[in-house]
Amino acid sequence: MSAIAIKNGHLIDPSAGIDAPRDILLKDGKVAEVAAAGKLKPADGAQVINAKGLVVAPGLIDIHVHLREPGQGYKETIATGTAAAAAGGFTSVAAMPNTIPVNDTPEITRWMQSPERGASVRVFPIGAATRGSKGEALNDFAALKAAGAVAVTDDGHPILKDSIMRDTLAAAARVGLSVIQHAEDTRLTVGASMNAGPVAFRLGLRGMPVEAESGLVERDIRLVTELRSDKVHLHVAHTSTAKAIAAVRQARRNGLRVTCEVAPHHFLLTDEHVGHYNTNCKMNPPLRSAADRAAMLEAILDGVVDAIATDHAPHASHEKEVEFERAPNGVTGLETALGLCLRWLHGEARMPLGRVLSLLSAQPAAVLGLKGRGSLTEGSFADVVIFDPKAEWTYRAAEGKSKSRNTPFDGWAMQGKVRWTISEGRIAYEAN
């Protein structure tokens, strides 16, 4: 296999505590050497990337994406979704099981990882927790794990019943898998299409109360407490409310293994952005109040949030161009996450660059236990993002790699331009 030498760059590897000029040699899909600037041993035939003025960092990891295959290739395919990932600086994505059919078998889990899918970055399937994600009968977690699944979830739907969620947490713990909960008490959200509050009232739409999320997070934490095992791991997907974050914060103080992620749209936008029924601002959980948005940002800054995850959820234009209540939930996110995080978390909120990158690489790798990812120490996978931290640009959805255009961030100013994304030693994206 080929080798790549990345020279003259500024390495930021939060997991190794490095924030300094370094040269790196990638060989046979792994990091072969990290050397002081100019001190890399010559490697015959290695391609040289000149990263002068650029940041070199572990490839980004998104633990919550919808790649739509099998079954809905008109929205996205594993090939187009991972091309979007690579363009956004991501080298690993964890793919949700709400496909058609639902990924509740080892066969589908393997199919998603097969080379024929044409993925340009690593895809880690997440298996369905229950058969058909119907919340009734548990799947065979050991078999899903053996096929490559890195967690279980019924994302898109909650695991609602107490007994089923308890059994899911216990069974997943026995085989060493995390349980990712889409926390929505669907008994409180029937017929609702946005956040409950004055905006929903004005638009004449039924609203989802914050308690639909926080109530289920509190219930889940109670179950984790009762199970009394440090092997039990609950991960709260797309956390959107101050109340849910408060519950996670308390669970952590109590020493429980409870982690959470927040999506860029939930710390940047509020339900006011729905404006006049903009379906590109419709997702589940919905955009919340200004107070909730502020709480997400605060929790990111103070370290309660373990990972930024996009919940990349592509939908075709014809599906979104309908009445608000009929439009499907979801927004794309892979091509905007880094640019938004650099602009708003680093640029505006003054979060150190290393901490921002950690939330997008080392920490999500730790949440799902992805070994050899999220770090550029010698022997790690050669997953690298090289970006210009100073470059400012405007995101144009029409020019994206994703098949879908359903983003609330079209026309937004971004900071930090990806120049190269390298996945397991291969160039997956190169800016032109």
Q: Which residues bind ligand DOR (CB under 6 A)?
A: 66, 98, 155-156, 182, 283-284, 313, 328-330
Instruction: Give me the catalytic one of 167, 311, 388, 410.
Output: 311
- Of 64 and 346, CB closest to Zn ion: 64
- Between 209 and 328, whose beta carbon lies closer to ligand DOR? 328
Stretch that binds Zn ion, among 174-182, 217-225, 244-252, 375-383 (CB under 5 A): 174-182
Q: Taking CB under 5 A as the rule, does residue 155 contact Zn ion?
A: yes
Cβ neighbours for 56, distance < 8 A, ≥ 6 positions apart: 6, 9, 10, 11, 12, 22, 24, 376, 384, 385, 386
Look up residue 402 and give its two tokens. Answer: 């994703």
Minimum CB separation from ligand DOR for residue 283, in Å?
Answer: 4
Are 94 and 64 contacting, i.e. CB atoms less than 8 angstroms apart?
A: yes
- Choose among 411, 360, 417: nearest CA to 390: 417
Single residue of 66, 182, 266, 315 touching Zn ion by CB under 5 A: 182
Residue 387 CA to residue 218 CA, distance in Å, equals 40
Q: Which long-range contacts (CB under 8 A, 24 or more apart) does 194-202 make?
A: 194/271, 194/274, 194/282, 194/286, 194/287, 194/324, 195/271, 195/286, 195/287, 195/288, 195/289, 197/271, 197/289, 199/271, 199/272, 199/274, 200/271
Q: Rule CB under 5 A: is residue 373 a binding residue for Zn ion?
A: no
Segment near Zn ion (CB under 5 A), from 65-73, 98-106, 151-159, 244-252? 151-159
Nearest distance from residue 88's CB to ligand DOR, in Å?
18
Radius of gyration in angstroms for the set of CA atoms belonging to the chain, rounded to a whole number: 21
Count Cα atoms within 13 angstroms, Cβ side, for 296. Answer: 26
Which of the choices Zn ion, ligand DOR, none does residue 8 contact, using the CB cut-off of 5 to 8 A by kind? none
Q: Which of 169, 166, 174, 164 is nearest to 152 (CA)?
A: 169
Residue number of the CB closest to Zn ion reads 182
From CA 23, how far away is CA 330, in angstroms rounded? 40
Q: Which region among 3-11, 131-139, 155-163, 370-378 touches Zn ion (by CB under 5 A)?
A: 155-163
Which of ligand DOR, Zn ion, none is residue 10 near (CB under 5 to 8 Å by kind)? none
Map residues 54-83 to x or -, x wherever contact with Zn ion holds by CB under 5 A: ------------------------------
SS3 10: strand
Of the pair 71, 372, the CB lying nearest ligand DOR is at: 71
Give the residue from 234, 107, 106 showing the smallest Cα distance to 177.
Answer: 234
The site partner of 66 among Zn ion, ligand DOR, none (C-beta below 5 to 8 Å per kind) is ligand DOR
User: Treating both helix axes as pointing N-terminal to C-terminal, what angle do 290-302 and 242-253 enclose, rounded to 10 degrees?
Assistant: 30
Among 117, 97, 40, residue whose Cα is nearest residue 237 = 97
Give the tokens for residue 10.
């500024």
Among residues 46 and 316, whose Cβ is nearest to ligand DOR?
316
Please provide the distance, in angstroms rounded to a whole number, between the alpha carbons at the two ends of the chain.
25
Query: What residues does 386 pair with on adjacent strands?
Result: 56, 420
Q: CB of residue 102 vs ligand DOR: minimum separation in angstroms?
A: 11
Q: Is 235 in the site for Zn ion (CB under 5 A)?
A: no
155 is known as an active-site residue: no
Taking the least distance from each CB to ligand DOR, the nearer of 10 and 64 is 64
Amino acid in the structure at residue 6: I
The CB-of-106 to ligand DOR minimum distance in angstroms stands at 22
Q: Interacting stretch for Zn ion, rule CB under 5 A, among 8-16, 54-62, 177-185, 256-264?
A: 177-185
Smallest gap, in angstroms, from Cβ of residue 213 to Zn ion?
11
In the bound state with ligand DOR, the residue whose beta carbon lies nearer, of 283 and 385, is 283
In the bound state with ligand DOR, the residue whose beta carbon lies nearer, of 280 and 380, is 280
Q: Where on the chain is the footprint of Zn ion (CB under 5 A)?
A: 155, 182
Task: Point out the residues that are catalytic.
Answer: 311
